[in-house]
Structure formats: structure tokens, C-alpha cells
Amino acid sequence: MLVATWNLAGVKARLETLLAWLEERQPDIVGLQETKSVDEAFPRAAVEKLGYHVELHGQKGFNGVALLSKTPPKSVSRGLPGDTTDEQARYIEGVWDVGGSTLRFVSLYLPNGNPIGTEKFDYKLRWMARLERHARKLLAAEVPFVLAGDYNVLPEAQDAKRPDVMLGDALFQPESRAAWRRLVTLGLTDAVRAATAAPEVYTFWDYQDGAWRKNNGLRIDHMLLSPEAATLFDSAAIDAHVRGWEKPSDHVPVVVELGFR
């Protein structure tokens, strides 16, 4: 079973790229981020034509998350619990019956947090604290789950081509990285790092300064597996070639294979 995450940087601008990748990769479940679309304007029909069910939590002009799946989920929830005043569309969670088991899959778009020293950075840290609390509750259920998405966090220096230039960025602040470690040390597995410890493994290349050509990348899109999902883990891959397609997102898909039998 293939599950994936991808920050599209706007579904309307990247629709043809999304459709081409879905046809090429044939994932079973995909979490999308930064769709930048209200639910009514999402190009649902084009995606459904490829055989995918669509669940949305959209927002006009920015944010927006979605779940695409070959089979419909049995339940869906929208919004990260813990703050009823938070109106930003950054979290959607679905539950599927898979081979006699249950899989919970989350698509999340964690706040960027820049510039540091502002409310935006405080919001990022509060959001990460809420995610940690929710992850604790999910872990208590002892069922396979995947927290997939654009985390806007660089866990280690090796996750950036030039970590020195990231020192003043919210993605690489000690507080952001500490919040990431607290989340992972609950018992979650970073799927990509479980597959490889190699350097220069990236999921994002900026549009500026020839970043793609120079391989000046960042690894900020992650898939965290619960212990029950980690026992099913077969492989992880980053579809970096998609960054070279026409009208690409600055992010690329991350794909994990889970061995549901």
C-alpha cells in the first residue's frame, strides 16, 4: 500500500502536474497541503476521473489540506484539536479499513513561523504543542497512523544543503527542532530517515537563485509513523524528479510503502 504527502503550492496552478503524478505513481492515499482553494473551487472532477475519492479542508488563497484515496475513508475530521479559535485550514485526518485493519492518515501543513520574534513564530510553537498532545491521544489507541505533511521543520543540519543560511529561519530554530524531537520521541518513526541516512536528501527547492539546478534543497516534508505503522513499513522514497517537470511545486512528493497483508 502506497501512502504519500505533497505540498502542491496551489492546486489550480499544479493540476496537470498532480494528475500526471497520480497516474504515474498510483498511490492509495495522498495527503495534499497548501491547496490554496476553497472546497467548492477544488478541481474535484478531474481527480475523481482518475478514480480518487476527495476529502477537503480548504481556505481561500492560502493554506488548505486534502486527502485523496482510492477507497473512501470511513470517517474524516477537520482541524487540529486543542484550539477552537484557530480558523486556519491546516489539518485533516481520515480513517480507512485496510485488509482487516485500520489506518489513520493525517495531512498537515504546519505553520512556517517566519519571521521569528513575532506572533507567527509563537503560533507555530503553539501548533506544534497541540500536535504533540493529539499524537499522544492517537498513540493511546494503538492503531497504525501516519502524520504526513509539510512540517516546515529541519530536524538536523544535514537536512539543508546550506544550514548556515538557515540559522535565522523559523524552520531551523532550537525551539522548532526541540518541538520536533518531543513529537518523534513519543515513539514515532521518521520514515525517510528509517530508509536512509544519506546526506543531500531533500523535499523542497526554492524557486529562486537556481536552487533546483544547484541542488540547494531542504528536507521539510515528513511522514511520521506510529509504532503499529512502523511494523508495516517497507520503504520510503522522495519523487524528486517531479521538481523538474513543467510548472512544478517547490516541494515534491514523499511516498511510503506499508505492507498491509
Q: Whole-angstrom Cα distance, residue 37 to residue 58?
A: 6
114 is in an annotated binding site: no
Catalytic pick from 28, 57, 134, 150? 150
Catalytic residue selected from 57, 134, 222, 251: 251
Strands (E), the chain: 2-7, 29-33, 53-57, 65-69, 75-78, 91-98, 101-109, 145-150, 189-190, 204-205, 217-218, 221-225, 233-238, 254-258
To the query of whether residue 202 is one of the catalytic residues in this protein, the response is no
Closest C-alpha among 63, 137, 71, 76 to residue 104? 76
191 SS3 class = helix
| 251 catalytic residue (yes or no) | yes
The answer to whether the annotation marks 152 as part of a ligand binding site is: yes
Please report where in the chains the cell 484557530 appears, as a residue.
Answer: 86
Check 52, 91, 109, 202 and give the catalytic one.
109
Cis peptide leading into residue 199 (ω within 30°):
no
Closest CA to 222 of 199, 197, 189, 182: 189
Q: Annotated binding residue at 7?
A: yes
209 marked as binding residue: no
Cell readout for 37 is 482553494
Say whether 53 is catalytic. no
Binding site, by residue number, is 7, 34, 150, 152, 250-251
Residues carrying an active site annotation: 109, 150, 251
Binding site for Mg(2+), by residue number, is 7, 34, 150, 152, 250-251
